[in-house]
Amino acid sequence: MSRRVVRWRTLACIVVVLLGVVGCTSSSADGPGTTSAGTTASASVIDPSPSSTPAASSSLAPSVIDVPTLPTTLDPAAQEAADRSSVEGQWVAFWNVYDAIVRTPKDQRAAELAAVAVPPVSDNVLDAANQADIDGVDNYGPVTHRLSWQFPINGASTATIADCQDQSQVGTIKVSTGEISALGQPRSNMRGVFNKGEDGVWRLSQILFLEAAC
C-alpha cells in the first residue's frame, strides 16, 4: 500500500466483541415478513347550486365525477430492486463510517452514525471509538464486500442482507508504534439487519456473525 489506511479494530471484532453475536446460526437471519400498503381514491360527488331559471329544478341529479386511481407505489419487482439497492448502499456506507469513526471529530460521530445505523449498533460503535481513543489504536486495511440475498424484502420494513466479507487485509494498528496485528479472515460470514425509518431511510439495527462457511 502507498499509504496506511488505519483502522482501530477488525470488523470481526466489532461483531464478536461489541455486538455479542458469536455463535449465531443461519437461522438467526430469517427473512423479513411481508407488509403491504396502498390507497384508493374515492369518487368525488359535486352538488351543483340551483339555477335561477324555472327550467332548473331540484329534480336534477348530482353529477358524479370518477377520479382515476393513481399508483402510490412501484410494482413489486421494481420496489424489491429499489429496496435492495438502498440496503446495499447503506450497508457499505455503514462500514465506511465505521472505518473512519476514530478519525471523525467526537462531536460529529453520533450524527455520522445516525445516518446509517440505530441502537444498539450505533451506541456500540461510539463506545468502541471512545475506547480506541484511550487505547491509542485504530483500524488498518480495506474490507471487501461480497453481497447476496437469502430472503426477499417483499415490501416489508425490515431486511436482512448477507455479506461474505474478505477481512484478510483488515487488522489493528497501534498508532504510537505502527505495529499491525490481528488480521482477519478472507471469508467472514456476516448478516446485517436493517429497519426502514419513517423517513424512508434504511438503517442498520443488528449485525450477525455466522460460523458457517460462506
Residue 64 lies in a domain: no
Q: Which domain holds residue 145?
A: 6-25+76-210
Residue 189 lies in a domain: yes
User: What pLDDT, on a 0 to 100 scale, did the predictor assign at position 90?
Assistant: 98
Q: How many domains does the chain contain in total?
A: 1
Ramachandran quadrant class, 182 (left: phi over 0; alpha: psi -120 to 50; beta: rest): left
User: What pLDDT, on a 0 to 100 scale, did the predictor assign at position 71?
Assistant: 55
44, 51, 47, 42: which is closest to 62 by C-alpha? 47
Q: What is the CATH number of the domain that holds 180?
A: 3.10.450.50
User: What pLDDT, on a 0 to 100 scale, did the predictor assign at position 7?
Assistant: 42
Q: Please report, in tens digits, the pLDDT of each residue of the chain (214 residues total).
A: 433 333 433 333 444 333 433 333 343 434 333 333 333 333 332 233 344 444 444 444 444 555 555 555 679 999 999 999 999 999 999 999 999 999 999 999 999 999 999 999 999 999 999 999 999 999 888 899 999 999 999 999 999 999 999 999 998 889 999 999 888 999 999 999 999 999 999 999 999 999 999 9
Q: How many residues does the chain have?
A: 214
Q: List all residues 6 or more positions away from 161 whose beta carbon is below 8 Å from its beta carbon.
A: 87, 88, 91, 147, 148, 149, 191, 192, 194
Residue 32 lies in a domain: no
Residue 107 lies in a domain: yes
CA gyration radius, the chain: 26
Residue 62 lies in a domain: no
**What one-letter code names the amino acid at 96?**
N
Residue 41 lies in a domain: no
pTM for this predicted structure = 0.68
Q: How far is CA 8 from the centre of its chain?
A: 23
User: What pLDDT, on a 0 to 100 scale, did the predictor assign at position 1?
Assistant: 42
Residue 129 — φ and ψ, nearest 5°? -65, -40
**Measured in Å, how far apart are the chain's first and last C-alpha atoms?**
27
Q: Sign of the C-alpha dihedral, residues 166, 180, 16, 96?
A: negative
User: What pLDDT, on a 0 to 100 scale, did the predictor assign at position 172?
Assistant: 84
C-alpha cell at 83: 429496496
Residue 94 lies in a domain: yes
Residue 44 lies in a domain: no
